[in-house]
Amino acid sequence: MPIFRGPILNPQSENQCNFYKDGGVLVGDDGKIEAVGDFDSIEETRGEVTEITDGVIVPAFVDVHVHMPQNHVRGQFAGQLLPWLQNCIWPEEAGFRDPRVADEKAKKFYQDLAGQGTLLSLVYATIHEHALHSTFAHKIGDTIAGNVLMDENSPDYLSQSTEEAIAITERCAREYGEHFAVTPRFAPTCTMELMMAVGEIARQYRTWIQSHLSENLDEVKWVSELFPDCDSYTDVYQKAGLLSPRTIMAHCIHLSDEELDILKETGTKIAHCPTSNIALGSGRMPVEKIRKWGIPFALGSDVGAGPSLSLLHVMQKYMEQHAEANVEATPQDALYRATLAGAELLDRGDKMGNLDIGKEANLVIVKTDEQPKDAEGAIRDIVSGSMEELEGKVEKVYFQGKEVV
């Protein structure tokens, strides 16, 4: 059985991260963690020791919002949200109508994702059914994904009839069950009829639901024009029956108190994507209010609006963006939001998200500049540097104790 020896960061909550300067993780034959702590406390005789000399052991990252078909165009911007979608993203996603293109790019996506240490993800595919099959076929680690729904206000080359969108969703929900996410792109590209029908499918097959909510002010205004009978953007999804404890809404930047109340009451959770919000000039999610309302949230890269799949980069910008507004986002909190919080959001907190005994040995070796002395210093070390430097920091990645990168 392998034993990993080196500095260990083991996040427990937004306020606490256990740190072992000379730590050890003992992995059982079943790929689960049998012991973790100071290296002295691990019975050395029980396995072969892998020494980590210039890095730190952290749990594998969790990305709760990422677009598979945008991986190869990540960080290519054309203004704010709506023009960027129309001019840059939708023509790219249309290329996935070719099954070979979809398959190659899905494979590359998971290689790149695992290369950055992410082994659990909540993923948007495209409107094409075969693209979703390719997504699952190439996953590395665990993934939840859905075919994107667009039956209105979408270009002809990337649109489906309401009936077709419902039929695909039902087939995929039946096939993938708890790994499937009903995925209306966002309210502007979906009719109420479609959203209500897929909400019903999610309940029937106990799947996840994911969408975008209140990212950009032009978008919020557009939604109010498209759905004049609804009180707010959040109310659109509520009337459609899409808000639930298994719903993850991305962004949630410009919400009223009443909308936050709805999210709280329905048990809806939030994917917070600071790198994307900065890139598209969408604004800052008011993390202090989300905390006050007690709405669970975790970090997402939102690639391709987010320019990098690196959760280290997302952690860095999470700390920076809120600090600029004089709102605290500590290093310990950032690591928690990039690991355990995401696993908890996706109902996998009992088997993933940190390095506690009994969980899967999903761990990442991240290069450090200096020998870490405490949790805060170690986290500050791994999130320091340019985006390119951060993307080069992941040295090795293990899924259930086996090397995958």
Residue 119 C-beta: closest distance to Zn ion, Å: 20
151 binding Zn ion? (CB under 5 A) = no
**Binding range to Zn ion, per CB under 5 A, among 33-41, 302-310, 327-335, 364-372:** 302-310
The packing angle between helices 162-176 and 129-137, to 10°, is 20
Nearer to Zn ion, 143 or 368 (CB): 143
Nearer to Zn ion, 57 or 250 (CB): 250
Amino acid letter at 157?
A: Y
Nearer to Zn ion, 57 or 223 (CB): 223
92 binding Zn ion? (CB under 5 A) = no
Torsion angle of C-alpha atoms 122, 126, 131, 133, degrees rounded to 10: 40
In 68-106, which positions are buried (b, 16+ CB within 10 angstroms) versus exposed (e)?
bbbbbbbeeeeebbeebbeebbbebbbebeeeeebbebb
Residue 66 C-beta: closest distance to Zn ion, Å: 8
Residue 191 C-beta: closest distance to Zn ion, Å: 20
Q: Of 171, 232, 231, 238, which Cα lies nearest the Cα of 209?
A: 238
302 binding Zn ion? (CB under 5 A) = yes
Contacting residues for 78 by C-beta, under 8 A, at least 6 apart = 84, 87, 88
Count of residues interacting with Zn ion (CB under 5 A): 1
For residues 277 and 80, is the Cβ–Cβ distance under 8 A? no
Look up residue 151 and give its two tokens. Answer: 């039956």
Residue 233 C-beta: closest distance to Zn ion, Å: 15
Dihedral sign of CA atoms 330, 331, 336, 337 in order: positive
Amino acid letter at 219?
A: E
Nearer to Zn ion, 249 or 378 (CB): 249
Nearer to Zn ion, 302 or 360 (CB): 302
Look up residue 9 and give its two tokens. Answer: 């960061």
**Binding range to Zn ion, per CB under 5 A, among 160-168, 182-190, 298-306, 337-345:** 298-306
Q: What mask, x for binding Zn ion by CB under 5 A, covers residues 214 to 253?
A: ----------------------------------------
Residue 250 C-beta: closest distance to Zn ion, Å: 5
Interacting residues with Zn ion (CB under 5 A):
302
